[in-house]
Amino acid sequence: MSVRYNFRENEEKWQKAWEEASLYKTTEDPPHFYVLEMLPYPSGRLHVGHARNYTIGDVLARYKHMCGYSVLHPMGWDAFGLPAENAAIQHGISPRLWTLENIQLMKQELKTLGFSYDWDREILTCSPTYYAHEQKIFLDFLKNGIAYRKESFVNWDPVEGSVLANEQVIDGKGWRSGAPIERRKLSQWFFKITDFSQQLLDDTALLDQWPEQVKTMQANWIGRSEGAFVQFPLVGKEDVIEVFTTRPDTLFGASFIGISPDHPFAEMLSQDNPTLQTFIAECRSQGTSQKEIDTAEKKGYNTNLTVQHPFLENKTLPLYIANFVVMDYGTGAIFGCPAHDPRDFDFATKYKLPILPVVKSTKEAPLPYEGEGTLYNSNFLDGLSVEDAKLKAIHKLEEKDRGTSKTIYKLRDWGVSRQRYWGCPIPIIHCPTCGVVPVPENQLPVTLPEDVTFDKPGNPLDHHPTWKYVSCPTCGEAALRETDTLDTFVDSSWYFARYCSPSSPEPISREKAESWLPVNQYIGGIEHAILHLLYSRFFTKALRQCGYWNLSEPFKNLMTQGMVCHETYKDQGGSWLYPYEVERQKDGLIKKEDGTPVYAGRSEKMSKSKCNVVPAAKMVEDYGADTTRLFLLSDSPPERDFEWTDAGIEGSWRYLNKLWRLVTSHLSDITMVNLEEIPVTFTEKAFQLRKLTHKTIERITHDIETFHLNAYIAHLREFSNAIEGFQLSEDSDRWVLCEALTILVLLASPALPHLTEALWEELGHSDFIYQASWPIPDPSLVQQDIIKLVLQVNGKMRGTLDVSPSIGEEEIKALVLETLKPHLQGHPLKKFIYIPQKVANVVI
């Protein structure tokens, strides 16, 4: 028996044995437990952030299997997306081949980490066997009124002549061309997620095992607001501007009306007004992202038109076209009350508009003031609270037929059209006669052509010589295929269902899906808290509406792991550098290759686009899978972000060897032990070890159930330290040692599957440890017979007292006062606080 653990030999041996035994093939017998980690984008290499995510899932999957569940633990690839097209443009490689090569590499890396995936269920979203079903779902959405077409804006790069993603717009300019980006209107496909706003909001109540922060973020995203629509007739014109407001109470403080540059009325006004056209064009030169709109300088165009105030006959308000008003929210028009809204305040200050306060705070508060208070300067609302004034203002508006109460949502419909090649084709044909015609289901899938080129700007599907030219399925006349593809978020909005029946001829086998779903434990990065998770929830409800199943929520429990972050580096030319390309010297960072200076940027979540990734493969190569897994688990709690450092991996490697030695060096001591035959008596030290053994089972079971996985590892280490210090003297000690070692190996197995598999065999077992049962603690050994009571004087710790848990309060009091005598110095007792089993506090 070698003293040092040979991870290379051992890990390879057992991975092969597991595969030959099809150990991780899903079984269907109940009870079921579905463990799912968010599927990765195949960017090329597995980095430590991925490895952390999957290790967390693997611990749970193995643990649940040992607890007797049939575990579904699948893995797949979110294989469509922009990076493949960028690779095609840069290196001339086909997006498909690039993606498949990456998948092959990453799959190999995943396998070396020893995860318990059922690879028979692997999904590639870029495979026609997957996206055919997505196209069927799209057609069902269309039939059920969930998919529809409307016009909407995209980022347009006028130099490249193509649509850019938000990520490709940097400071308002195209990332490759550097040209200022325009917002351009295109006709695109949308999913009617807004029909489900209230349901999505209400059903968060069902998600009791989701982190509060995620539910809060989703609720804020859906953004239900109660308020009013208010009509402002234009003075001297027929038109009426309708605004949405959540603050009808502040109508008497209104000093202007702002409408979005994209508002139909603004477009109408601009028709014979070149100055206004220029202004609108300027507004549209902002990108489409919310952040850009919010942080851009407030700008307005005075139309010189005025509107009538709903309550005051003699009051009119100027009508501005304002860049901070968005068309997608409410009516695309607001009334500005500068005294009580910061954006309106900025705007009014800039254009010297009146700022009339109408809500008085109880305390001195600077303007703009958004809090509670009493109305003044407000005619019939004077003296009312904000809440009451809202109701009364709405009531009055309704009475005068100038407005109505209204609840609206910030959530917008989901635009799913992408003007790109590497995505799921939208199964639609545009016929000059019949209009929009769905591709008949028996002609699915609409597959992507392989012979595409990326030498021209724009969508390769659009300028493919033949692909889009088809005949109309309805009338047979010449027609055109839709050349837009689906947003890749669509692919990941239903994959969890496909895993339940990966080869079913229908998109989803209702029987299988309903037997496995909702996912018992979903694990992934907190960065997906809103979009991916909300889209998946929407899909689940939309699929129910289309009759796919009777399921309302996809993920029962959600665990959001924190991000693994790393410093970012750029060279002199501004190109991103990988950490391994950078060397740290006394006076700064240099590029290893040529010694030129390197600039360190802020620490960010690991992502391929910024090169700040640490590949997992190197660690596995140098230290093995188990050490890597142990390190990723032990260093920080899963839900917390952490800054990556290499320091500490050595410590994990040492622990692995320690475990190996601990068990193998005692094998000869315990060979004769039969764990079925419990000795009648134990020595005191053996009894203490038994108690720790069972206490450890209890703690670790709890740690895994609650995802305190760093505590899990700490408790394993504590337990090993205790076993290490245990000296054999009697025969019954051997039994206790054998029990402790066996349980140690079992408890370590979800984290360290290879090492524990070898030790399990050494301990004389012929099955795989994955097939063994998770240990159950003996309740009589877990009970505490002596409590360490903390003694305090005025809340400060002054000592401890060992007492029996059954001791009475009076008895305790006497004992405590006696023990603390030196600290009391004869002061009279004011209060005695006793929290059984915890603390006794003497207040003097």
Please list every residue from 615 through 654 that binds RNA, using CB under 7 A.
634-637, 640-643, 645, 647-648, 650-651, 654
832 DSSP β-pair partners: 842
Shortest reach from residue 843's CB to RNA, in Å: 5
Q: Which stretch binds RNA (CB under 7 A): 64-72, 200-208, 282-290, 754-762?
A: 282-290
Looking at the Cβ atoms of 348 and 713, the one nearer to RNA is 713
Residues for the chain: how many in total?
Answer: 844
Looking at the Cβ atoms of 230 and 563, the one nearer to RNA is 563
Shortest reach from residue 700's CB to RNA, in Å: 12
Residue 807 binds RNA (CB under 7 A)? no
- Do residues 443 and 221 lie in contact, with contact meaning Cβ atoms separated by under 8 Å? no
Residue 602 binds RNA (CB under 7 A)? yes
Cβ burial of 412 (10 Å; 0-12, 13-18, 19+) is middle
Looking at the Cβ atoms of 23 and 839, the one nearer to RNA is 839
Looking at the Cβ atoms of 223 and 233, the one nearer to RNA is 223
Residue of the chain from 112, 135, 323, 419 that contacts RNA (CB under 7 A): 419
| C-alpha–C-alpha distance, residues 793 and 830, integer Å | 11
- Do residues 408 and 227 lie in contact, with contact meaning Cβ atoms separated by under 8 Å? yes
Number of residues that bind RNA (CB under 7 A): 102
Binding mask 565-584 for RNA (x = CB under 7 A): x-------------------
Residues 528-557 that bind RNA (CB under 7 A): 528-532
Pairing mode of beta strands 240-245, 300-308: unpaired
One-letter amino acid of 687: F
Binding mask 759-798 for RNA (x = CB under 7 A): -----------------------------x-x-x-xxxxx
Residue 829 binds RNA (CB under 7 A)? no
Residue 396 binds RNA (CB under 7 A)? no
Q: Which stretch binds RNA (CB under 7 A): 250-258, 431-439, 488-496, 743-751?
A: 488-496
Residue of the chain from 302, 433, 552, 800 that contacts RNA (CB under 7 A): 800
Residue of the chain from 11, 37, 78, 118 that contacts RNA (CB under 7 A): 78
Residues 154-213 that bind RNA (CB under 7 A): 154-155, 163-168, 186, 188, 212-213
SS3 assignment, position 74: coil
DSSP 432-494: TTTEEEEPPGGG---PPPS----SSSS-TTTT-SSTTEEE-TTT-SEEEE---EE-HHHHTTS
Structure-token pair, residue 683: 């020595």
Shortest reach from residue 686's CB to RNA, in Å: 20
Shortest reach from residue 625's CB to RNA, in Å: 18
Q: Which stretch binds RNA (CB under 7 A): 90-98, 405-413, 692-700, 764-772?
A: 405-413
Looking at the Cβ atoms of 198 and 794, the one nearer to RNA is 794
Cβ burial of 589 (10 Å; 0-12, 13-18, 19+) is middle
Shortest reach from residue 651's CB to RNA, in Å: 2
Shortest reach from residue 781's CB to RNA, in Å: 20
Which ranges constitute the DSSP H helices of 338-425? 342-350, 386-399
Q: Which stretch binds RNA (CB under 7 A): 173-181, 524-532, 735-743, 756-764?
A: 524-532
- Residue with tokens 């349980």, as numbered in its chain: 743
- Do residues 73 and 118 lie in contact, with contact meaning Cβ atoms separated by under 8 Å? yes
* Cα separation values, 407 from 141, 203, 381, 652, Å: 26, 18, 22, 56
Outline where DSSP puts E strands in 473-552. 478-481, 485-486, 521-525
| C-alpha–C-alpha distance, residues 773 and 316, integer Å | 78
802 DSSP β-pair partners: 788
> Who's near 470: CB < 8 A, 6+ residues apart?
429, 479, 480, 481
Shortest reach from residue 646's CB to RNA, in Å: 9
| C-alpha–C-alpha distance, residues 709 and 712, integer Å | 5
Shortest reach from residue 348's CB to RNA, in Å: 16
Looking at the Cβ atoms of 118 and 157, the one nearer to RNA is 157
Residues 291-320 that bind RNA (CB under 7 A): 291, 294-295
Torsion angles phi and psi, residue 734, rounded to 5: -60, -40
Residue of the chain from 22, 104, 285, 289 that contacts RNA (CB under 7 A): 289
Shortest reach from residue 127's CB to RNA, in Å: 15
| C-alpha–C-alpha distance, residues 573 and 566, integer Å | 21
Looking at the Cβ atoms of 133 and 528, the one nearer to RNA is 528
